[in-house]
Amino acid sequence: MTPGHRMDLLRLDVFHHLFAAVAEEMGATLMRSSFSPNIRERRDFSCALFDGRGRMIGQASHLPVHLGSTPLSVAAAIERIDMQPGDAVILNDPYAGGTHLPDITFVSPVFLPGSLKGSTGPNFYCANRAHHADVGGAEPGSMAPARDVHGEGLRIPPVRLVRGGQVDREVLALVLANMRVPSEREGDLLAQWSTNRVGERRLLEMTHEYGAPEVRARAGQLMDWTESLTRELLRGLPDGTWSFEDELEDGDGSQETARIRLRLTKRGDTLECDFRATDRRPGSSSNATRAVTISAVFYALRLLLPAGTPTNDGILRPVVVLTDPGTLVDARYPSGVAAGNVETSQRIVDVLLGCLGQLMPGVIPAASSGTMSNFTFGGPVQAGDDDGARPAYVYYETIAGGAGGGPQGPGAHATQTHMTNTRNTPIEELEKAYPVRVLSCGVRRGSGGRGAQRGGDGVEKRLVFLEPTHVSFVGERQVHGPWGAEGGAPGKTGSIRMRASGARTWKRCSGRVTRTLSAGGQVEIHTPGGGGYGATGE
């Protein structure tokens, strides 16, 4: 490598961090300006930048399940809407690049100086995705089990919410009329719009400083650079084919399971991920969209790349992802998808790591908790100020679990793993905003699997409700704990139980449950520990 070429890579790395910094600032804007605790406190959102062809060029360190799937939403928005300066498109349609309905994506075009209306189109796009605490549907929180997607909430195809810098109030009114607590939803939606405007301003400032030709060229070179690093990684691994499968419990109390099956083939500098033998569950809410499956592949491959590798479209260029429409990893209308994004995505990662553990022995850790332990509550219904009855509040959170032990050490306790990267809602904020008290919240000691490197422990959390409340839970690993690796033991399973006000006994619930509790009712959740790594020698 010549000194001049080395300097060019250094400058390219500068642009890598410039693009990432724009996405990070977008995230900070969304966090500060949003209304709901789920976005403001838990930071259940992601931001990224795309070139004029809809290829991701930079992202913030947000949620893997969002970031790897957002490119398909951006592609859907570009295909269906001729975006002009000042426009902003929203969508959550799971069959048009979306994940599940609560994840609403904003896509905004960026026209560099000299790009006029009627030209070849935008030069860049800013996009952000945020999980809204409610988007309608049969149950508060829009995450409870439903027979099909229509029971899960409002489905939004790509549509302009903002035209020429002005919010389309008719479109906004239609959206809000189908959601609980519309004032909170409106605040979050407008915060998402503001977030993209910040991204647009920063890209324009970069162009002013470095010139449009260099900014556009560096975006393309960054993707090419990442592709070359990914192919270099693959060339260094042995060729062959490996298989792995794992189960989804689909916890409806029937003990019925569904299998996700992967056949991984590595040849030269390419990788094929074949999920076509995966089971079908059309009446379940555990169907993951193809966008979610691609996101899991994107995440698993990124784990193997060296620290500092730019995270962009180049990672997936050497990869083929094969899915069979209608299976759990490639949802088709009208299959429910609420749990597919949060639960099935985690199991897809588990089977990917299971195959990679055979391809790269001694490198891949044991399974982590394998669930996001989704907990929602809302109500009571009361008279609204203007347009009828509505719930007074809706809340959603995911609860951390244990990370799998690995060759580098034991798994972390009480942490969000793999496809999620959110925080917990502080107890003070939770109790201030909602009629609930947290009786206990801590590490579930001893729940990690035994091994030379022990799995991390999960979480135990107990709450009591001060008013009648509708409660829902969606979780996995309630029957079989996360698997250990290299002789390590599995982590302990998770559980949820409820106790009615005044009752002496608890009732254990399945991993898919919806209940109404009166004031004084309690919920206790235990999340799984991670699997252990390596035999103990005992």
Q: In this predicted model, what pLDDT tens digit does every residue of 521-530 receive, in sequence order?
A: 999 999 999 9
Query: Distance between CA 92 and CA 69 in Å, rounded?
Result: 12
Taken as a whole, the chain contains a residue count of 538
In this predicted structure, what is the pLDDT of residue 6? 47
* Pairing mode, strands 512-517 and 469-474: antiparallel
CB distance 59 to 145 below 8 Å:
no
By the 8 A CB rule, do 519 and 465 touch?
Answer: yes
**3-class DSSP assignment, residue 36:** coil
pLDDT at residue 115 is higher than 80: no
Q: d(Cα 451, Cα 489) in Å, to the nearest integer? A: 6
- Summarised one tens digit per residue, pLDDT across range 6-15 is 448 889 999 9
Q: What is the pLDDT of residue 2?
A: 39
Q: In Å, what is the CA distance from 33 to each residue of 40, 42, 311?
A: 8, 13, 26
Question: How far apart, in whole angstroms, are the C-alpha atoms of residue 160 and residue 88?
Answer: 6
Count of C-beta atoms within a 10 Å radius of residue 465: 22
For 265-282, how does the pLDDT look when each residue is reduced to its tens digit (9 = 90+)? 999 999 999 999 999 988
Picking from 85, 93, 52, 412, the residue whose alpha carbon sits closest to that of residue 217 is 52
Whether pLDDT at 388 is above 90: no
Q: In whole angstroms, what is the distance from residue 105 CA to residue 131 CA?
A: 9
**Sheet containing 88-91, strands listed edge to edge, beginning at the edge strand earlier in sequence:** 56-59, 45-51, 124-131, 103-110, 88-91, 159-163, 166-167
Instruction: Pinpoint the alpha helices (H) of 98-168.
Output: none
Written as six digits, the tokens of 80 are 């269906």
Burial of 265 (0-12, 13-18, 19+ CB in 10 A): middle
Structure-block tokens of residue 462: 């107990």
Strand, coil or helix: what is 173?
helix
Please report the pLDDT score of residue 285 as a whole number.
93
Rounded CA-CA distance 49/70 in Å is 10
Count H helices and E strands in the chain, helices first.
Answer: 11, 22
pLDDT of residue 62: 75
Which two tokens mark 518?
A: 């009166």
Torsion of the alpha carbons at 286, 291, 292 and 298, rounded to the nearest 10? 160
Check whether 385 has a pLDDT greater than 60.
Answer: no
Average pLDDT for 318-343: 96
pLDDT band at 150 (very low <50, low <70, confident <90, very high): very high
At residue 1, does pLDDT exceed 60?
Answer: no
Q: What's the average model confidence in pLDDT over 452-457?
A: 98
> What type of residue sits at position 474?
V
Instruction: Dump pLDDT digits (tens) for 472-513.
Output: 999 999 999 999 999 999 999 999 999 999 999 999 999 999
pLDDT band at 339 (very low <50, low <70, confident <90, very high): very high
Q: Is the pLDDT of residue 120 over 80?
A: no
**Helix, strand, coil percent values for the chain (each to nearest 5):** 30, 25, 45
> What is residue 349's three-state secondary structure?
helix
Please tell me the pTM assigned to this model: 0.94
For 281-313, write each residue's pLDDT tens digit: 888 999 999 999 999 999 999 999 999 899 999
pLDDT at 63: 80
Give the rounded distance of the alpha carbon of 149 from its chain centre: 18
Q: Band of the pLDDT at 118, cuts 50, 70, 90?
A: very low
| pLDDT, tens digit (0-9, with 9 covering 90-100), for 367-379 | 999 999 999 999 8
pLDDT grade, residue 381 (50/70/90)? low
Distance, in Å, from the CA atom of 357 to the CA atom of 406, rounded to the nearest integer, reads 11
Identify residue 338 by its one-letter amino acid code. A
Q: What are 16-46's pLDDT values in tens digits?
A: 999 999 999 999 999 999 999 999 999 899 9
What would the two tokens of residue 422 be?
């959110």
Given a cut of 80, whether residue 389 has pLDDT beyond it is no
Let me know: does 39 contact 131? Beta carbons within 8 Å.
yes
- pLDDT-derived band at 417, boundaries 50, 70, 90: very high
Span 177-183, mean pLDDT? 94
> How confident is the model at residue 537, as a pLDDT?
60
Average pLDDT over residues 54-61: 91
Summarize the confidence of residues 427-454 as an average pLDDT: 97
Distance CA(372)–CA(339), nearest Å, equals 10
Question: What is the 3-class SS of 31-98, one letter each residue?
Answer: HHHCCCHHHHCCCCEEEEEEECCCCEEEECCCCHHHHCCHHHHHHHHHHHCCCCCCCEEEECCCCCCC
* 322 conformational bin, left if phi > 0, alpha if psi -120 to 50, beta if neither: beta
3-state secondary structure of 450: coil
Residue 136, pLDDT above cutoff 60: yes
Looking at residue 251, what is its pLDDT? 53
